[in-house]
Structure 1
């Protein structure tokens, strides 16, 4: 679907966020409430009357759930004959991305994440819904410390006629329970098996059943016992025993979500642990993506800077912008950019376009949308260096705000390096200016 399409006269599509088995998810602007949302549209080839009925039933069921560990559903409707679902837009990182960069998590963090997943599953099951695709990619962690279950794209209502035919395997093999692989009817215990597979991976740094092919993984899920975690280094016995029960071949041996939550012994500072893990992940990516200063920048001068105020950047200004001072602004107007809009930066980078994108990036920083700001400032600085030059004022401003992002994320040394990069250019210009006056 084309960007800038407006759905229901209200939701303006800004860019595609991803796709799944049932359809595509877009970032959209809710013009009525002036907020960004995630809008999921069912695939056009699936948009028959039966699927529309199922989609509407799913949406109404999810909307009944008001729980911090499940994604919030705002609206549902039809765009022509195609159903859509409007949900909250989550910032942060999904558990799969976190595990790719940090395979084994500390057991306190594992307890915190698993407890959030259990709480969400308990709420979902109480509402008569199965998630049916619990996996790290569908578990979102936010900088506010939330654990959010998302993508109920193949959710199944327990209290309605089954919509998935017996014998059809739906899900991700590594997290599918043996009974589902055999084509048997799923239940709440199916989601609990997937939870166990996720906890196993967080503790061990690997999936319980690996294989070179999907067939090999499925064979192991059905035939083999899960490798034991008890006795492994840095794995508490109580968590090892809980995982063993969650991954039991016999569904009746698995605890419920509520029972698992009680046994997890969630730490009292769970939200802080999750928030710090997300911030640390973003901080690592920011340091990596922003990179070191190009060699040609050091000692260079900014054209036209001789006419500017010599006091280019004071310590107080840096502190205010970086949020280290009580005078730092707490918010700003404007909307974040979609991925497609960010990519446009790499093309047609005129000074006017660069300055406009830079203002939007600054707005992201000031309102705390650091994940978006990091991505935009990384692309923007690279594009400005290529199109405008490494010492152009707009390029240097991008570098400066990269430093602000790093400072807010706690990467002090890297932030100082960015500020020093700008200062080096400013100092070179001042030296040229003074030398010119002496001639």
Structure 2
């Protein structure tokens, strides 16, 4: 649609006059491409899942902690391989997901809750941010990118920078995985778009757990080899004939035995199956896997009662309390990061987050009751106190129009009941 130049210029002047300088600056940088996210600059690598050994783990630790020329590339490959262990990742989820699911609030300096800013954090990027931040406890130092904004100038997503491309000791993101030079994310124009979680040399809990996970993988692989060799007993053919034609016929019959399930012999020929031996494969391999899982649970959750279906109620209750203590520390860790690191960056990232400047993030740990528990509480307390009917209606999700009179004032009804 064609717009006259005079009207176009008037719209432009009005827009610039009524838009804050910070918003214009953010829009200009976002739309012009003058700043480019580092996740779009460095070279990505295809995911490879080769076999990892203790030697790979030792070399990864050595290179990542090298004071002169550190590299996290090999250690990240070992860590990525460990994530294939389902028990390991499930136990980590037991630490991460309760924090992600906890209600939160923002309060002012007087402790009053400020409801209107809460929706700024009710987005998927915040769930992802908590997950990345908490996994730093297990996987070591993390670098989170906060760059792209949507049309409302709100943060669109957060990105975890591949640690193979990060040298935290130097504060740079390298162009190639395992490289030595790149872009500085701790200083300069990009400093507000990147947040490092964990110290420069923090290797995470995976540094301790790798030998256990590798031993478990070895046990599973050996069990599969055992099944492949001894799952179906070996079959032998015994014959007194020595001509090559008959030997070839028996060889073909043995080769097809598993699919045909029968063979035909001649004369004194007989067929025998080989016993797999007296080895108890179940206890040999499964016990190793159980022990590895229990060691992982003890280190991450503080015990096996949460994941062991045969655990005693008393022990499971004690261990549940220990897990809740760990989750409480995890929530404290996240709250400090949000107030000290995340909010200041968001305020500088976009004017939309300006209202957060003088507020504090808090977890909303107020105990919530079920509807049944609310009804029981109201019944117990109603003989001593009066309740606000409107508030009770909101809590129960049902409209209360009036209170019934439980006293019988009809004399006729009284006579009937007396009779």
Taking structure 2 as the reference length, what is the TM-score of the superposition?
0.22
Q: Between Structure 1 and Structure 2, which shows a larger proportion of helix residues? A: 2
Taking structure 1 as the reference length, what is the TM-score of the superposition?
0.21
Max radius of gyration: which structure?
2
